[in-house]
Amino acid sequence: MHNAILLYRLYDVADEINLELVEKIFSAEKPTSRLRLVRVPPKSIHIENPPVGVELGSDRVTLGGVDYQVHFSARVYDLGVVSIIMRIGLPPESRYEEIKRLSLVLEREEGAYEQNFLAQLQNLRETIAPALIGKGGEGFEEDFTVYFFTNWCREWDPLPLLLGEEGPFSEWVKRDTLQNSFSYSPEDLIIITWDSALVCDTTGSTDLLDLLEFAISQLLELRYYDGLLSVEMDKMYKELERAGIGSGFMRLRHYRRIMSRLMELVTEVTDITERIQNSIKVTEDIYYARIYSAALAMFRTKAWMDSIQRKVAVIQQNYSMLSDEIVTARATWLEVAIVLLIALEIILGLLQVF
């Protein structure tokens, strides 16, 4: 790929997506491809179920009074995520001031092109609808911007591009923004921030872009399931409060129903978080592993994972408490039944005597 600005929008559209069916759906009209990193041996990076990529075509977008032709593509992940990428090509002779102006316009006029993403998403969802499993999370999305170059000039200042601001910037901001900078060779460079990155690869390889996109898709899914757990915990507390008002048998019946749903939820979340963590494994390539780990740290995926685990632990504690209460209630009723049987036996014995 040549010099370009890539705008990413990742959406959670389903609980799961059948990628084999997605390929069949598109095979009649558009070529598809499975994600594969080309600059490293296949054994260095293991992708459990590589996402499906498809070209969506071109469109025109007006930014800062200038009409740009943009190209859209998409990538579909089995975890229920759809990534739509809008690529704005930059001519090889583009000057730094022109690129900086465009980056500031993109930050300032986001609403001007957001509808283009939504239109592409709507068309894509309708096309792959048979492959979608579950509803997914409406409103859960992530955005990210990548400035890609094959000929980045070292004298250019990356901060206005990465931060979307004119500046000037303090030394602290410069250090903080550039702390996640990596280079494999003197000509290569990647800088990762919370919502943007600058990538310079003289060969035009998109491997690093694909790694960043994968990390963002994991962040999106973790955010979705963290939100799902929060909603379910609110429901759990309300149902426990309502169940506590009822009589003995009805309360135990409500508790059993709550326990059943809690265990289903814990099983589902545990399974999906393991799939998220195991969806990609960078093993032997130290450079790619370092960049992927830095991206996960920058996106704070560990904080979201810890939040999910804390909520799962709370749910499991409530499950244990409900289980103990049900066992205690059963033991109490069993003791009452034994006492009644003993009393009945005594009464029958007395009746025989008299």
Q: Are 57 and 76 in contact (CB under 8 A)?
A: no
Q: What is the pLDDT of residue 249?
A: 54
| Band (187; pLDDT cuts 50, 70, 90) | confident
Q: Where are the domains of the chain?
A: 4-205, 214-350
For residue 14, give the DSSP letter: -
Q: Examine the pLDDT at 213 and tell me if it is beyond 70.
A: yes
**What is d(CA 285, CA 44) in angstroms, rounded to the nearest whole number?**
6
Q: What is the pLDDT of residue 34?
A: 80
| Band (240; pLDDT cuts 50, 70, 90) | low
pLDDT tens digits along 110-119: 777 888 999 9
Alpha helices (runs of H) in 128-206, residue ranges in sequence order:
159-163, 171-178
Q: How many CB atoms lie within 10 A of CB 274?
A: 10
pLDDT tens digits along 296-325: 989 898 898 888 888 888 777 776 666 666
Residue 274 or 169, more confident:
169
The two tokens of residue 220 are: 């999106």
Q: What is the pLDDT of residue 124?
A: 93
The two tokens of residue 319 are: 């499950």
pTM confidence score: 0.83
333-339: average pLDDT = 73
Q: Which helix (H) or strand (E) holds 272?
A: helix 248-278
Question: 352 phi and psi, to 5 degrees?
Answer: -70, -35
30-36: average pLDDT = 80
Q: Examine the pLDDT at 153 and tell me if it is beyond 90.
A: no
Please, what is the average pLDDT of the chain?
83
pLDDT tens digits along 64-112: 888 888 999 999 999 889 999 999 998 878 899 999 999 999 888 877 7
**What is d(CA 350, CA 353) in angstroms, rounded to the nearest whole number?**
5
**What is d(CA 212, CA 195) in angstroms, rounded to the nearest whole number?**
11
Q: What is the pLDDT of residue 172?
A: 92
